Amino acid sequence: MASGYLSRLMSTPEAQPENTMEAIVSLAKRRGFVFQSSEIYGGFNGFFDYGPLGVELKKNIRDCWWNDMVRRRDDVVGIETSIIMHPKVWEASGHVAGFTDPLVDCKVSKNRYRADQLFWSPVVVDGNVVGYVSALESEKTTEELQAAAESLKRKKAIQGTLAPVVAKDFTEASAEQVSLIPSPATGNPDLTPPRSFNMMFQTNVGAMTDASSVAYLRPETAQGMFVDFKNVVDTNRVKLPFGIAQIGKSFRNEITPRNFIFRSREFEQMEMEYFIHEDADWDKCHKEWIEWCRQWLLSIGLPESHLSLYAHPKEKLAFYSRGTVDIMFKYPFGVQELWGIAARGSYDLTQHANASGKPQELFDEASKKKFVPHVIEPAVGVDRIFLAVLAAGYAEEDVTDEKGNVEKRTVLRLSPRIAPVKVAILPLLKNKEILTNRAKALYTKLKRNYAVQYDDGGAIGKRYRRQDEAGTPWCVTIDFDTIEKPGDTFTLRERDSMKQTRVTETELFALLAEQVY
Ligand code: GAP
Protein backbone atom coordinates (compact mmCIF):
# COMPACT_ATOMS: atom_id res chain seq x y z
CA MET A 1 0.00 0.00 0.00
CA ALA A 2 2.85 2.42 0.68
CA SER A 3 4.07 4.34 -2.34
CA GLY A 4 7.44 6.02 -2.73
CA TYR A 5 5.76 9.39 -2.59
CA LEU A 6 4.21 8.69 0.80
CA SER A 7 7.38 7.51 2.40
CA ARG A 8 8.94 10.91 1.67
CA LEU A 9 6.29 12.61 3.77
CA MET A 10 8.09 12.50 7.07
CA SER A 11 9.73 15.17 9.09
CA THR A 12 13.40 14.84 9.87
CA PRO A 13 14.27 15.07 13.57
CA GLU A 14 16.24 18.30 12.82
CA ALA A 15 13.03 19.96 11.65
CA GLN A 16 11.21 19.18 14.90
CA PRO A 17 11.34 21.55 17.87
CA GLU A 18 12.65 20.33 21.22
CA ASN A 19 9.20 20.15 22.74
CA THR A 20 7.24 18.71 19.83
CA MET A 21 4.31 17.76 22.06
CA GLU A 22 3.81 21.34 23.24
CA ALA A 23 4.06 22.60 19.65
CA ILE A 24 1.52 20.03 18.44
CA VAL A 25 -0.99 20.81 21.19
CA SER A 26 -0.64 24.51 20.44
CA LEU A 27 -1.06 24.02 16.67
CA ALA A 28 -4.02 21.69 17.27
CA LYS A 29 -5.80 24.43 19.20
CA ARG A 30 -4.69 27.37 17.04
CA ARG A 31 -5.78 25.75 13.79
CA GLY A 32 -8.89 23.97 15.05
CA PHE A 33 -7.77 20.35 15.06
CA VAL A 34 -8.43 19.51 18.72
CA PHE A 35 -9.92 21.50 21.61
CA GLN A 36 -10.27 20.62 25.26
CA SER A 37 -13.79 19.43 25.96
CA SER A 38 -16.00 21.97 27.78
CA GLU A 39 -13.15 24.46 27.70
CA ILE A 40 -15.24 27.44 28.84
CA TYR A 41 -15.89 25.52 32.08
CA GLY A 42 -12.20 24.83 32.59
CA GLY A 43 -12.06 21.66 30.51
CA PHE A 44 -12.91 18.09 31.50
CA ASN A 45 -9.94 15.79 32.07
CA GLY A 46 -9.72 12.93 29.57
CA PHE A 47 -12.23 14.32 27.06
CA PHE A 48 -11.59 16.21 23.82
CA ASP A 49 -13.43 17.91 20.96
CA TYR A 50 -12.32 17.81 17.35
CA GLY A 51 -12.54 21.09 15.42
CA PRO A 52 -13.21 21.62 11.70
CA LEU A 53 -9.77 20.47 10.49
CA GLY A 54 -9.65 17.73 13.13
CA VAL A 55 -12.93 16.09 12.13
CA GLU A 56 -11.81 16.00 8.51
CA LEU A 57 -8.50 14.39 9.44
CA LYS A 58 -10.22 11.91 11.73
CA LYS A 59 -12.84 11.06 9.14
CA ASN A 60 -10.13 10.48 6.53
CA ILE A 61 -8.27 8.10 8.87
CA ARG A 62 -11.52 6.21 9.48
CA ASP A 63 -12.46 6.18 5.78
CA CYS A 64 -9.03 4.92 4.69
CA TRP A 65 -9.22 2.11 7.25
CA TRP A 66 -12.79 1.22 6.31
CA ASN A 67 -12.03 1.21 2.58
CA ASP A 68 -8.89 -0.89 2.96
CA MET A 69 -10.19 -3.17 5.70
CA VAL A 70 -13.77 -3.71 4.55
CA ARG A 71 -14.62 -2.46 1.06
CA ARG A 72 -11.43 -3.48 -0.72
CA ARG A 73 -11.36 -6.95 0.84
CA ASP A 74 -13.67 -9.85 -0.01
CA ASP A 75 -13.34 -11.52 3.38
CA VAL A 76 -14.34 -8.75 5.81
CA VAL A 77 -17.79 -7.27 6.44
CA GLY A 78 -18.68 -4.28 8.58
CA ILE A 79 -21.22 -3.75 11.35
CA GLU A 80 -22.18 -1.05 13.83
CA THR A 81 -23.37 -2.17 17.25
CA SER A 82 -24.82 -0.20 20.16
CA ILE A 83 -22.58 1.50 22.71
CA ILE A 84 -24.72 0.31 25.62
CA MET A 85 -25.25 -3.43 25.42
CA HIS A 86 -26.92 -5.94 27.73
CA PRO A 87 -24.93 -5.95 31.00
CA LYS A 88 -24.56 -9.72 30.71
CA VAL A 89 -22.27 -9.14 27.72
CA TRP A 90 -19.69 -7.61 30.05
CA GLU A 91 -20.11 -10.32 32.66
CA ALA A 92 -19.52 -13.02 30.05
CA SER A 93 -16.57 -11.22 28.48
CA GLY A 94 -14.86 -10.93 31.86
CA HIS A 95 -14.91 -7.13 31.94
CA VAL A 96 -17.12 -6.81 35.06
CA ALA A 97 -14.75 -8.97 37.07
CA GLY A 98 -11.45 -8.21 35.47
CA PHE A 99 -11.29 -4.97 33.46
CA THR A 100 -9.37 -3.26 36.21
CA ASP A 101 -6.28 -1.16 36.74
CA PRO A 102 -4.38 -1.07 40.05
CA LEU A 103 -5.22 2.25 41.72
CA VAL A 104 -3.13 4.01 44.38
CA ASP A 105 -4.36 7.02 46.39
CA CYS A 106 -2.24 9.70 48.00
CA LYS A 107 -4.05 10.18 51.32
CA VAL A 108 -2.89 13.79 51.70
CA SER A 109 -2.91 15.32 48.21
CA LYS A 110 -5.88 13.15 47.09
CA ASN A 111 -4.01 12.49 43.82
CA ARG A 112 -4.62 9.11 42.24
CA TYR A 113 -2.05 7.03 40.39
CA ARG A 114 -1.98 3.85 38.39
CA ALA A 115 0.28 1.56 40.41
CA ASP A 116 1.94 0.22 37.25
CA GLN A 117 2.80 3.80 36.21
CA LEU A 118 4.22 4.79 39.59
CA PHE A 119 7.87 3.78 40.00
CA TRP A 120 10.04 3.56 43.08
CA SER A 121 13.46 2.39 44.16
CA PRO A 122 15.22 1.75 47.44
CA VAL A 123 18.11 4.13 48.06
CA VAL A 124 21.07 1.88 48.82
CA VAL A 125 24.33 3.27 50.28
CA ASP A 126 27.17 0.83 50.93
CA GLY A 127 24.72 -2.06 50.73
CA ASN A 128 22.22 -0.58 53.26
CA VAL A 129 18.73 0.69 52.39
CA VAL A 130 18.62 4.27 53.69
CA GLY A 131 15.25 5.31 52.21
CA TYR A 132 12.98 5.19 49.20
CA VAL A 133 12.31 7.45 46.20
CA SER A 134 9.45 7.54 43.68
CA ALA A 135 8.72 9.00 40.22
CA LEU A 136 5.93 8.78 37.68
CA GLU A 137 6.41 6.85 34.45
CA SER A 138 8.10 8.89 31.73
CA GLU A 139 11.00 8.67 29.33
CA LYS A 140 13.20 9.85 32.20
CA THR A 141 11.90 7.77 35.11
CA THR A 142 15.26 6.17 35.94
CA GLU A 143 17.13 9.49 35.73
CA GLU A 144 14.55 11.12 38.01
CA LEU A 145 14.82 8.30 40.55
CA GLN A 146 18.61 8.53 40.47
CA ALA A 147 18.52 12.30 41.01
CA ALA A 148 16.04 11.87 43.89
CA ALA A 149 18.28 9.19 45.45
CA GLU A 150 21.31 11.49 45.27
CA SER A 151 19.32 14.33 46.78
CA LEU A 152 18.07 12.11 49.64
CA LYS A 153 21.64 10.96 50.38
CA ARG A 154 22.79 14.60 50.47
CA LYS A 155 19.88 15.70 52.65
CA LYS A 156 20.53 12.93 55.18
CA ALA A 157 24.29 13.66 54.99
CA ILE A 158 25.09 9.98 54.54
CA GLN A 159 28.65 9.08 53.54
CA GLY A 160 29.41 6.09 51.27
CA THR A 161 28.77 4.81 47.78
CA LEU A 162 25.28 5.17 46.35
CA ALA A 163 24.18 2.14 44.31
CA PRO A 164 22.38 2.80 40.98
CA VAL A 165 18.60 2.88 41.45
CA VAL A 166 16.52 -0.10 40.34
CA ALA A 167 13.12 1.11 39.11
CA LYS A 168 10.18 -1.11 40.06
CA ASP A 169 6.51 -0.35 39.70
CA PHE A 170 4.27 0.06 42.73
CA THR A 171 2.52 -3.29 42.22
CA GLU A 172 5.86 -4.88 43.11
CA ALA A 173 6.15 -3.19 46.51
CA SER A 174 5.71 -5.26 49.70
CA ALA A 175 3.33 -4.04 52.43
CA GLU A 176 6.29 -2.68 54.39
CA GLN A 177 7.68 -0.88 51.33
CA VAL A 178 4.24 0.61 50.57
CA SER A 179 4.36 2.23 54.01
CA LEU A 180 7.79 3.78 53.29
CA ILE A 181 7.68 4.86 49.61
CA PRO A 182 7.08 8.63 49.27
CA SER A 183 4.10 9.98 47.35
CA PRO A 184 5.24 11.93 44.25
CA ALA A 185 2.85 14.69 45.36
CA THR A 186 3.95 15.19 48.98
CA GLY A 187 7.37 13.54 49.25
CA ASN A 188 6.10 11.69 52.35
CA PRO A 189 4.91 8.08 52.65
CA ASP A 190 1.22 8.89 52.15
CA LEU A 191 0.30 6.20 49.57
CA THR A 192 -2.33 3.51 50.00
CA PRO A 193 -1.72 -0.09 48.88
CA PRO A 194 -2.91 -0.69 45.27
CA ARG A 195 -6.52 -1.79 44.83
CA SER A 196 -8.43 -2.92 41.76
CA PHE A 197 -10.39 -0.20 40.01
CA ASN A 198 -12.88 -1.19 37.31
CA MET A 199 -12.52 1.11 34.32
CA MET A 200 -16.02 0.68 32.89
CA PHE A 201 -18.32 3.70 33.12
CA GLN A 202 -21.64 2.76 34.71
CA THR A 203 -25.03 4.19 33.95
CA ASN A 204 -28.64 3.25 34.62
CA VAL A 205 -31.10 2.36 31.92
CA GLY A 206 -34.77 3.18 32.45
CA ALA A 207 -36.55 5.04 35.20
CA MET A 208 -35.19 3.01 38.12
CA THR A 209 -31.70 3.67 39.44
CA ASP A 210 -31.15 0.47 41.37
CA ALA A 211 -28.83 -2.49 40.86
CA SER A 212 -31.21 -4.05 38.33
CA SER A 213 -30.85 -1.11 35.92
CA VAL A 214 -27.04 -0.89 35.90
CA ALA A 215 -25.49 -0.89 32.43
CA TYR A 216 -22.09 0.05 31.06
CA LEU A 217 -20.68 2.23 28.31
CA ARG A 218 -18.67 -0.21 26.20
CA PRO A 219 -14.92 -0.22 26.94
CA GLU A 220 -14.19 -1.84 23.55
CA THR A 221 -16.12 -2.30 20.32
CA ALA A 222 -14.96 -5.91 19.98
CA GLN A 223 -17.76 -7.53 22.00
CA GLY A 224 -20.30 -6.24 19.48
CA MET A 225 -18.70 -8.43 16.82
CA PHE A 226 -18.78 -11.54 19.05
CA VAL A 227 -22.36 -11.03 20.17
CA ASP A 228 -23.51 -10.51 16.56
CA PHE A 229 -21.39 -13.33 15.16
CA LYS A 230 -24.35 -15.62 14.46
CA ASN A 231 -26.45 -12.80 13.04
CA VAL A 232 -23.73 -12.02 10.51
CA VAL A 233 -23.18 -15.71 9.64
CA ASP A 234 -26.91 -16.31 9.19
CA THR A 235 -27.56 -13.24 7.04
CA ASN A 236 -24.44 -13.07 4.85
CA ARG A 237 -22.70 -15.50 2.56
CA VAL A 238 -19.54 -15.50 4.69
CA LYS A 239 -17.19 -18.47 4.78
CA LEU A 240 -14.18 -19.01 7.04
CA PRO A 241 -11.80 -17.34 7.24
CA PHE A 242 -13.68 -14.05 7.42
CA GLY A 243 -13.70 -10.92 9.53
CA ILE A 244 -16.25 -8.58 11.09
CA ALA A 245 -15.11 -4.98 11.48
CA GLN A 246 -16.46 -2.00 13.37
CA ILE A 247 -15.50 1.60 14.03
CA GLY A 248 -16.97 3.33 17.05
CA LYS A 249 -16.59 5.10 20.35
CA SER A 250 -15.35 3.32 23.45
CA PHE A 251 -15.17 4.61 27.00
CA ARG A 252 -12.76 3.87 29.81
CA ASN A 253 -12.57 5.59 33.15
CA GLU A 254 -8.78 5.85 32.91
CA ILE A 255 -7.16 6.65 36.26
CA THR A 256 -4.57 8.90 34.63
CA PRO A 257 -5.62 10.11 31.19
CA ARG A 258 -2.56 11.76 29.69
CA ASN A 259 -0.43 12.77 26.78
CA PHE A 260 -3.17 14.78 25.11
CA ILE A 261 -5.42 12.45 23.07
CA PHE A 262 -3.13 9.42 23.53
CA ARG A 263 -4.95 8.10 26.59
CA SER A 264 -8.40 9.58 27.02
CA ARG A 265 -11.63 8.49 28.65
CA GLU A 266 -13.73 8.67 25.49
CA PHE A 267 -12.01 7.52 22.31
CA GLU A 268 -12.68 5.81 19.05
CA GLN A 269 -11.62 2.29 18.08
CA MET A 270 -11.28 0.49 14.76
CA GLU A 271 -11.41 -3.22 15.48
CA MET A 272 -11.73 -6.32 13.37
CA GLU A 273 -12.36 -9.89 14.52
CA TYR A 274 -10.97 -12.36 11.97
CA PHE A 275 -12.55 -15.77 12.48
CA ILE A 276 -10.55 -18.86 11.51
CA HIS A 277 -11.05 -22.61 11.76
CA GLU A 278 -10.04 -24.12 15.09
CA ASP A 279 -7.36 -26.16 13.26
CA ALA A 280 -6.08 -23.27 11.13
CA ASP A 281 -2.48 -22.07 11.43
CA TRP A 282 -3.26 -19.20 13.82
CA ASP A 283 0.38 -18.18 14.15
CA LYS A 284 0.71 -17.63 10.39
CA CYS A 285 -2.57 -15.72 10.27
CA HIS A 286 -1.51 -13.60 13.26
CA LYS A 287 1.77 -12.70 11.54
CA GLU A 288 -0.04 -11.84 8.29
CA TRP A 289 -2.33 -9.44 10.13
CA ILE A 290 0.57 -7.80 11.95
CA GLU A 291 2.20 -7.11 8.59
CA TRP A 292 -1.07 -5.91 7.07
CA CYS A 293 -1.48 -3.39 9.89
CA ARG A 294 2.12 -2.21 9.58
CA GLN A 295 1.74 -1.70 5.82
CA TRP A 296 -1.49 0.17 6.37
CA LEU A 297 0.21 2.60 8.75
CA LEU A 298 2.89 3.22 6.12
CA SER A 299 0.18 3.80 3.52
CA ILE A 300 -1.21 6.73 5.52
CA GLY A 301 2.23 8.27 5.75
CA LEU A 302 3.71 7.10 9.06
CA PRO A 303 7.48 6.71 8.72
CA GLU A 304 8.84 3.18 9.02
CA SER A 305 11.61 4.45 11.32
CA HIS A 306 8.98 5.31 13.98
CA LEU A 307 7.34 1.86 14.01
CA SER A 308 8.46 -1.21 15.96
CA LEU A 309 6.91 -4.44 17.22
CA TYR A 310 6.52 -5.56 20.81
CA ALA A 311 5.57 -9.17 21.52
CA HIS A 312 3.93 -9.53 24.94
CA PRO A 313 5.94 -12.00 27.03
CA LYS A 314 4.17 -15.37 27.37
CA GLU A 315 3.92 -15.09 31.17
CA LYS A 316 2.14 -11.71 30.92
CA LEU A 317 -0.48 -12.74 28.35
CA ALA A 318 -4.15 -12.76 29.33
CA PHE A 319 -5.08 -16.37 30.08
CA TYR A 320 -7.14 -16.70 26.88
CA SER A 321 -4.52 -15.14 24.61
CA ARG A 322 -2.15 -17.26 22.56
CA GLY A 323 -0.07 -14.30 21.54
CA THR A 324 -0.31 -10.51 21.38
CA VAL A 325 1.94 -8.23 19.39
CA ASP A 326 1.69 -4.44 19.59
CA ILE A 327 2.78 -2.13 16.84
CA MET A 328 4.60 0.58 18.74
CA PHE A 329 5.03 4.18 17.62
CA LYS A 330 7.76 6.60 18.61
CA TYR A 331 5.66 9.44 20.07
CA PRO A 332 7.42 12.59 21.33
CA PHE A 333 6.88 11.27 24.90
CA GLY A 334 8.31 7.81 24.16
CA VAL A 335 7.66 4.57 22.31
CA GLN A 336 4.08 3.53 23.06
CA GLU A 337 1.41 1.09 21.90
CA LEU A 338 -0.44 2.16 18.78
CA TRP A 339 -2.09 -1.03 17.52
CA GLY A 340 -2.61 -4.34 19.33
CA ILE A 341 -2.95 -7.56 17.35
CA ALA A 342 -4.11 -10.42 19.56
CA ALA A 343 -4.75 -14.11 18.93
CA ARG A 344 -7.74 -14.68 21.24
CA GLY A 345 -8.46 -18.37 20.52
CA SER A 346 -12.14 -19.26 20.94
CA TYR A 347 -12.42 -17.51 24.32
CA ASP A 348 -15.03 -14.86 23.53
CA LEU A 349 -17.44 -16.97 21.48
CA THR A 350 -17.23 -19.76 24.06
CA GLN A 351 -17.93 -17.33 26.92
CA HIS A 352 -20.99 -15.91 25.15
CA ALA A 353 -22.25 -19.39 24.21
CA ASN A 354 -22.02 -20.48 27.84
CA ALA A 355 -23.57 -17.32 29.27
CA SER A 356 -26.41 -16.99 26.75
CA GLY A 357 -27.09 -20.68 26.21
CA LYS A 358 -26.89 -20.04 22.44
CA PRO A 359 -24.18 -22.13 20.73
CA GLN A 360 -21.73 -20.06 18.70
CA GLU A 361 -20.57 -22.87 16.45
CA LEU A 362 -20.08 -23.55 12.77
CA PHE A 363 -20.40 -26.87 10.98
CA ASP A 364 -17.30 -28.37 9.39
CA GLU A 365 -18.36 -30.16 6.19
CA ALA A 366 -15.10 -32.15 6.03
CA SER A 367 -15.16 -33.62 9.52
CA LYS A 368 -18.98 -33.40 9.90
CA LYS A 369 -18.37 -31.86 13.31
CA LYS A 370 -19.36 -28.58 14.91
CA PHE A 371 -16.62 -26.30 16.20
CA VAL A 372 -16.16 -22.84 17.71
CA PRO A 373 -14.02 -20.60 15.45
CA HIS A 374 -10.88 -18.96 16.75
CA VAL A 375 -10.11 -15.30 16.33
CA ILE A 376 -7.28 -12.91 15.41
CA GLU A 377 -8.05 -9.34 16.48
CA PRO A 378 -6.30 -6.20 15.20
CA ALA A 379 -7.51 -3.35 17.46
CA VAL A 380 -6.42 0.26 17.07
CA GLY A 381 -7.47 3.69 18.34
CA VAL A 382 -8.30 6.42 15.82
CA ASP A 383 -7.13 9.12 18.23
CA ARG A 384 -3.75 7.41 18.67
CA ILE A 385 -3.27 7.33 14.89
CA PHE A 386 -4.36 10.99 14.75
CA LEU A 387 -1.68 11.93 17.28
CA ALA A 388 0.93 9.78 15.51
CA VAL A 389 0.39 11.47 12.14
CA LEU A 390 0.57 14.92 13.76
CA ALA A 391 3.74 13.98 15.65
CA ALA A 392 5.49 12.48 12.62
CA GLY A 393 4.36 15.22 10.27
CA TYR A 394 5.04 18.32 12.37
CA ALA A 395 8.07 20.38 11.33
CA GLU A 396 9.41 23.90 11.75
CA GLU A 397 11.77 24.98 8.99
CA ASP A 398 13.74 28.06 8.02
CA VAL A 399 12.78 29.14 4.52
CA THR A 400 14.06 32.00 2.38
CA ASP A 401 11.56 34.13 0.48
CA GLU A 402 12.07 35.80 -2.94
CA LYS A 403 13.62 38.84 -1.25
CA GLY A 404 16.19 36.73 0.58
CA ASN A 405 14.52 37.06 3.99
CA VAL A 406 14.69 33.97 6.18
CA GLU A 407 11.51 33.09 8.01
CA LYS A 408 10.13 30.15 9.91
CA ARG A 409 7.45 28.00 8.40
CA THR A 410 5.42 25.44 10.32
CA VAL A 411 4.38 22.55 8.17
CA LEU A 412 2.32 19.43 8.73
CA ARG A 413 3.53 16.77 6.34
CA LEU A 414 0.33 14.76 6.19
CA SER A 415 -0.20 12.11 3.55
CA PRO A 416 -2.63 13.27 0.82
CA ARG A 417 -4.75 10.23 1.78
CA ILE A 418 -5.61 11.75 5.15
CA ALA A 419 -4.91 15.49 4.82
CA PRO A 420 -8.04 17.45 5.88
CA VAL A 421 -7.84 19.72 2.83
CA LYS A 422 -6.46 18.23 -0.38
CA VAL A 423 -6.07 21.36 -2.47
CA ALA A 424 -6.30 25.09 -1.78
CA ILE A 425 -7.46 27.26 -4.67
CA LEU A 426 -5.83 30.67 -4.59
CA PRO A 427 -6.68 33.41 -7.09
CA LEU A 428 -3.58 35.60 -7.32
CA LEU A 429 -5.66 38.75 -6.76
CA LYS A 430 -8.94 38.99 -4.91
CA ASN A 431 -10.35 41.88 -6.90
CA LYS A 432 -9.72 40.71 -10.48
CA GLU A 433 -12.85 38.97 -11.66
CA ILE A 434 -11.06 37.38 -14.55
CA LEU A 435 -8.93 35.47 -12.01
CA THR A 436 -11.61 34.81 -9.38
CA ASN A 437 -14.12 33.50 -11.93
CA ARG A 438 -11.64 30.91 -13.18
CA ALA A 439 -10.63 30.04 -9.61
CA LYS A 440 -14.26 29.60 -8.52
CA ALA A 441 -15.04 27.39 -11.50
CA LEU A 442 -12.14 25.10 -10.63
CA TYR A 443 -13.07 25.15 -6.94
CA THR A 444 -16.68 24.17 -7.67
CA LYS A 445 -15.58 21.30 -9.89
CA LEU A 446 -13.04 19.92 -7.41
CA LYS A 447 -15.48 20.25 -4.50
CA ARG A 448 -17.69 17.49 -5.90
CA ASN A 449 -15.05 14.88 -5.06
CA TYR A 450 -12.50 16.42 -2.75
CA ALA A 451 -12.18 18.57 0.35
CA VAL A 452 -10.88 21.84 -1.09
CA GLN A 453 -10.55 25.35 0.24
CA TYR A 454 -10.93 28.66 -1.57
CA ASP A 455 -8.61 31.26 -0.09
CA ASP A 456 -8.26 34.77 -1.47
CA GLY A 457 -7.20 36.63 1.71
CA GLY A 458 -3.75 38.21 1.99
CA ALA A 459 -0.43 37.87 0.21
CA ILE A 460 0.14 34.63 -1.63
CA GLY A 461 3.09 33.71 0.65
CA LYS A 462 0.88 34.08 3.74
CA ARG A 463 -1.75 31.91 2.14
CA TYR A 464 0.83 29.19 1.42
CA ARG A 465 1.93 29.26 5.10
CA ARG A 466 -1.68 28.93 6.28
CA GLN A 467 -2.12 25.84 4.14
CA ASP A 468 1.27 24.39 5.19
CA GLU A 469 0.14 24.50 8.82
CA ALA A 470 -3.12 22.78 7.96
CA GLY A 471 -1.25 20.01 6.11
CA THR A 472 -2.71 20.81 2.66
CA PRO A 473 -0.52 18.91 0.16
CA TRP A 474 -1.12 21.25 -2.81
CA CYS A 475 -1.96 24.87 -3.50
CA VAL A 476 -3.18 25.89 -6.93
CA THR A 477 -2.73 29.54 -7.93
CA ILE A 478 -4.76 31.06 -10.72
CA ASP A 479 -2.60 33.86 -12.15
CA PHE A 480 -2.47 35.98 -15.29
CA ASP A 481 -0.66 33.22 -17.23
CA THR A 482 -3.74 31.05 -16.66
CA ILE A 483 -5.85 33.56 -18.50
CA GLU A 484 -3.45 35.07 -20.99
CA LYS A 485 -1.32 32.16 -22.14
CA PRO A 486 -2.59 29.18 -24.09
CA GLY A 487 -3.23 25.89 -22.28
CA ASP A 488 -5.31 27.09 -19.27
CA THR A 489 -2.58 26.08 -16.81
CA PHE A 490 -2.26 26.88 -13.09
CA THR A 491 0.68 27.08 -10.71
CA LEU A 492 0.76 23.91 -8.61
CA ARG A 493 2.78 24.38 -5.44
CA GLU A 494 3.79 21.27 -3.55
CA ARG A 495 3.75 21.59 0.26
CA ASP A 496 6.89 19.64 1.20
CA SER A 497 9.34 20.66 -1.50
CA MET A 498 7.60 24.04 -2.08
CA LYS A 499 8.35 23.41 -5.77
CA GLN A 500 6.09 25.10 -8.28
CA THR A 501 5.10 23.65 -11.65
CA ARG A 502 2.40 24.44 -14.18
CA VAL A 503 -0.40 21.95 -14.65
CA THR A 504 -3.64 21.73 -16.55
CA GLU A 505 -6.97 20.88 -14.96
CA THR A 506 -6.76 17.34 -16.39
CA GLU A 507 -3.31 16.85 -14.88
CA LEU A 508 -4.50 18.14 -11.52
CA PHE A 509 -7.42 15.69 -11.45
CA ALA A 510 -5.09 12.84 -12.48
CA LEU A 511 -2.69 13.71 -9.63
CA LEU A 512 -5.52 13.71 -7.10
CA ALA A 513 -6.96 10.45 -8.40
CA GLU A 514 -3.56 8.80 -7.95
CA GLN A 515 -2.70 10.20 -4.53
CA VAL A 516 -6.06 10.44 -2.75
CA TYR A 517 -7.53 6.96 -2.44
N1 GAP B 1 -10.54 -5.32 21.94
C2 GAP B 1 -9.19 -5.22 22.37
C3 GAP B 1 -8.84 -3.92 22.92
O4 GAP B 1 -9.69 -3.05 23.13
P5 GAP B 1 -6.83 -2.53 23.82
O6 GAP B 1 -5.35 -2.76 23.66
O7 GAP B 1 -7.34 -2.30 25.19
O8 GAP B 1 -7.52 -3.79 23.15
C9 GAP B 1 -7.02 -1.35 21.50
O10 GAP B 1 -7.27 -1.31 22.89
C11 GAP B 1 -6.50 -0.02 21.03
O12 GAP B 1 -7.39 1.02 21.41
C13 GAP B 1 -5.14 0.38 21.63
O14 GAP B 1 -4.07 -0.20 20.94
C15 GAP B 1 -5.19 1.89 21.45
O16 GAP B 1 -4.83 2.24 20.12
C17 GAP B 1 -6.66 2.21 21.66
N18 GAP B 1 -6.91 2.66 23.06
C19 GAP B 1 -7.06 1.88 24.15
N20 GAP B 1 -7.28 2.64 25.24
C21 GAP B 1 -7.27 3.93 24.84
C22 GAP B 1 -7.45 5.20 25.49
N23 GAP B 1 -7.72 5.28 26.81
N24 GAP B 1 -7.37 6.33 24.76
C25 GAP B 1 -7.12 6.28 23.42
N26 GAP B 1 -6.95 5.11 22.75
C27 GAP B 1 -7.03 3.95 23.43
Alpha helices (runs of H) in 31-69, residue ranges in sequence order:
52-66
- Please tell me whether the overall predicted TM-score, pTM, comes out greater than 0.85 for this model: yes
Decide: 133 in ligand 1 pocket, CB within 6 A: no
Ligand 1 centroid–CA 380 distance in Å is 6
pLDDT at 506: 97
115 C-beta neighbours (distance < 10 Å), count: 24
Ligand 1 centroid–CA 77 distance in Å is 21
Summarised one tens digit per residue, pLDDT across range 330-351 is 999 999 999 999 999 999 999 9
pLDDT at 328: 98
pLDDT at 16: 84
Q: Given a cut of 80, is residue 188 above it in pLDDT?
A: yes
Decide: 269 in ligand 1 pocket, CB within 6 A: yes
Summarised one tens digit per residue, pLDDT across range 38-88 is 999 999 999 999 999 999 999 999 999 999 999 999 999 999 999 999 999
Q: Are 480 and 428 in contact (CB under 8 A)?
A: yes
Decide: 121 in ligand 1 pocket, CB within 6 A: no
**DSSP assignment of 376-415, as one string?**
EEEEEEHHHHHHHHHHHHEEEEEEE-TTS-EEEEEEE---
- Using CA positions, which residue lies closest to atom 24 of ligand 1? 263
Decide: 256 in ligand 1 pocket, CB within 6 A: no
Decide: 383 in ligand 1 pocket, CB within 6 A: yes
Decide: 340 in ligand 1 pocket, CB within 6 A: yes
Whether omega before 257 lies within 30 degrees of 0, making that bond cis, reads no
pLDDT at 210: 87
Q: What average pLDDT does range 464-484 have in this prediction?
A: 96
Q: Given a cut of 80, is residue 10 above it in pLDDT?
A: no
- Using CA positions, which residue lies closest to atom 21 of ligand 1? 263
For the CA of 263, the nearest atom of ligand 1: 24
Decide: 339 in ligand 1 pocket, CB within 6 A: yes
Decide: 222 in ligand 1 pocket, CB within 6 A: yes
Closest by Cα among 264, 243, 244, 246 to 254: 264
